[in-house]
A and B are shown apart, each in its own frame.
Chain A
Amino acid sequence: MRIDRTKIFLISFAIIIATLIFFIPLTAAAEFSFRGNFGKGHSFTNYIWLLKQDGFIENLLITLQLGAIAGILNLLLMVPTAVITNIKFPRWRPVLDFICILPLIIPVVSLAVGAQVAMPEFLQNSQYELAFFFVIIALPFTYRTLDNALVSVELKTLVEASRNLGAGWFLTIVRVIFPSIRTGVIGAIFLSFALSLGEYTLTVLLHWTTFPTWTVIASQQNILGAIALSVFSLVGAVLLMIFISIFANKRNKRLNQQVEEEFA
């Protein structure tokens, strides 16, 4: 009993410290972002300044679009690839693993130039080419997340059971595999989306402007505005994460409630 209390105390202490480390700078930054001119008083001045800046909405929207496209492309590319590799070619998993780690190994400059040349011409002239670069950059994280999810379910027998019951490959992926690895898929989309929202180096190297690159330029004019931007970005990312996790758990909760009602 004494050991349990000590454990609980230590765990609570660690949680409190971690929370303080996380929240004190954030609270301080949030407080700072609401300061008025010359640091006096509190108001929404910096956020209003932010909204009035040229390119704020445009760059935010294009970045969100690119993030969404990258997330969907990643999903379309990696779910079937990871599933087929796990079921049909398990021996090739280390090879795929290595290929997906390459974006972390290859310098961003080489990646930017190399992949740019490989792009079709109509994409080279469009800002939407960035979505494809974001897919490449997110590969190490999305593949790992999906692979972990796939390994945690008995994929081969689930697929065989589904096929044996008459389902084709498409139906098997949509009705059986996808729901079984739902959390992993949502995690992969979120990672891809979040990485796309924060990507800076590639965008600059390819001479495009997105929300992160615009933020750097805008923040050079107003230090309080720059902090307001940081708080805005962080709160936005946290809200997004909460939204995705609520979305992911919604169906499971509904089904569990049904079962609990049955037992009651």
Chain B
Amino acid sequence: MNLDAQQSNRLSSKLELTDISRRFGAVVALDRFNLTVEPGELIALLGPSGCGKTTALRIIAGLESADSGKLEVNGIDYISKPANHRDMGMVFQSYSLFPNMTVQENIEYGLRVRKMEPAKRAKIVGEKLELVALGSKAKNFPHQLSGGQQQRVALARALAIEPTVLLLDEPLSALDAKVRTQIREEIRRIQLDLGITTIFVTHDQEEAMSIADRVGVMNQGNLEQIDKPIALYNKPTTPFVASFVGLANRIPAHVSEKGNVKVLGQKIPLSPFSSDIDGGKNVVALIRPESLHIVSSNETESTVGTVVFKSFLGPLTKLGVDIGEGLIVHLNELSKEVRKIEIGEKISIKIFAEEIMVESA
């Protein structure tokens, strides 16, 4: 097997976590957590603060121990391996570059630890610097670089050791919006180029959706749903995912015995993922802003409301409509279609959805 093939095999590892649990005192950080990452796949773990996503990543890296469960990389048990024997590259939120070392020294640190000969080391460092477009900054110290440049060095340093898995712990959180998008795209480009198995932890939905092959939504130590971004958005399987991913209007509704949801005067089929809700109950319907649209006042089954706010977002405009009883629903409409609508104006709205996800009232 040639070197490139060996490297490719090593970078494209299969990662499996089975029934991983971790408690911190009375707090359950992970509760029988299961995750399988296919070779070369980029998985984003998404969830609110304290949901256990960083704990999961730290357990994979060996920086935190699991109370129970299995962790395997390419079928080999990793759970008992110390962090420095796992060969996993990690990029931290706070960069964590060694302040006393230059960019070059930072990148070659892992290679020096492995006692690699200088010529080979220099070659790898050169390649990684080129990869992150920082060839001219090799002799700079971290404090002489911008946040984005520091994070690119951290990425190059993690990749230099040819890790079995690349772990990214909210790597873009400390960067400003423009740099964040740029680095995000670079991470994805490099990940695809190298075909490296990657786990990306974030609390930013846009980040997760735009970069990942699959997104895992976590809540209270559990993986609620893991799926392709589009499926996660359009076919959430739990009320938590429906309300956490994207914006959802929460509107009082009623489930009929026949499995329909009556909401805003319309009858819409109940999502199969809400099938545990008994018929004849009052519930809360979760409806995406883009499923609500302005219609003409003579449209059947429409609801009349008053526009209470209007936010211009470029191609789209966000509208807030008061539909009575203190309930304000959000709509996203094309800006050119609602430019004449003013605050205080009465409009008719209607739901356009094939099925509705609900949760208990």
List the interface of chain A (C-beta within 8 A of B). Answer: 153-154, 157-158, 160-168, 171, 175-176, 179-180, 182, 255, 258-259, 262
Q: Does any Cβ of A come within 8 Å of B141's Cβ? A: yes
> Could you list 4 further interchain pairs (A-B, Cβ under 8 angstroms) beyond the known A167-B109, A262-B140?
A164-B89, A164-B90, A165-B158, A166-B87
A255/B84 contact (C-beta < 8 A), A154-B94, A158-B96 known: no
Interface CB pairs A-B, < 8 A, 22: A157-B92, A160-B92, A161-B90, A161-B96, A163-B62, A164-B61, A164-B62, A164-B83, A165-B84, A165-B109, A165-B157, A166-B110, A166-B113, A166-B114, A167-B84, A167-B113, A171-B113, A179-B101, A180-B99, A255-B102, A262-B139, A262-B140
Query: Which 5 A-B pairs give the minimum distances between C-beta atoms?
Result: A165-B110, A179-B100, A161-B96, A157-B96, A166-B113
- Rounded to whole angstroms, the CA-CA distance of A171 and B84 in the bound complex is 11
- Rounded to whole angstroms, the CA-CA distance of A41 and B73 in the bound complex is 85
Interface size range of chain B in the complex: 20 to 34
CB-CB under 8 A from B110, the residues of chain A are 165-166
**A249 CB, min distance to chain B CBs, angstroms:** 13
**B39 CB, min distance to chain A CBs, angstroms:** 21
Report yes or no: B100 in contact with A182, Cβ–Cβ below 8 A: yes
From DSSP, what is the main secondary structure of chain A's interface residues?
helix
Mask, B131-170, CB within 8 Å of A = 1, is 0000000011100100000000000011001000000000
- Rounded to whole angstroms, the CA-CA distance of A134 and B101 in the bound complex is 34
Report yes or no: B98 in contact with A158, Cβ–Cβ below 8 A: yes
Q: Does any Cβ of A come within 8 Å of B88's Cβ? A: yes
CB-CB under 8 A from A157, the residues of chain B are 92, 94, 96
Report yes or no: A180 in contact with B139, Cβ–Cβ below 8 A: no
- Rounded to whole angstroms, the CA-CA distance of A262 and B61 in the bound complex is 36
Report yes or no: A160 in contact with B98, Cβ–Cβ below 8 A: no
Report yes or no: A162 in contact with B140, Cβ–Cβ below 8 A: no
**B99 CB, min distance to chain A CBs, angstroms:** 6
CB-CB under 8 A from A163, the residues of chain B are 62-63, 82-84
Report yes or no: A255 in contact with B99, Cβ–Cβ below 8 A: no
Closest to B110 in A: A165
CB-CB under 8 A from B161, the residues of chain A are 165-166
**B63, B98, B102, B158: which has the most chain A beta carbons within 10 Å?**
B98
CB-CB under 8 A from A161, the residues of chain B are 90, 92, 96-98
- Rounded to whole angstroms, the CA-CA distance of A163 and B158 in the bound complex is 12
Mask, B56-95, CB within 8 Å of A = 1, is 0000011100000000000000000011111111101010
Report yes or no: A255 in contact with B96, Cβ–Cβ below 8 A: no
Contact partner, B98, options A162, A166, A255, A259, Cβ 8 Å? A162
Closest to A154 in B: B94
- Rounded to whole angstroms, the CA-CA distance of A236 and B309 in the bound complex is 76
**B166 CB, min distance to chain A CBs, angstroms:** 11
CB-CB under 8 A from B102, the residues of chain A are 255, 259
CB-CB under 8 A from A171, the residues of chain B are 113
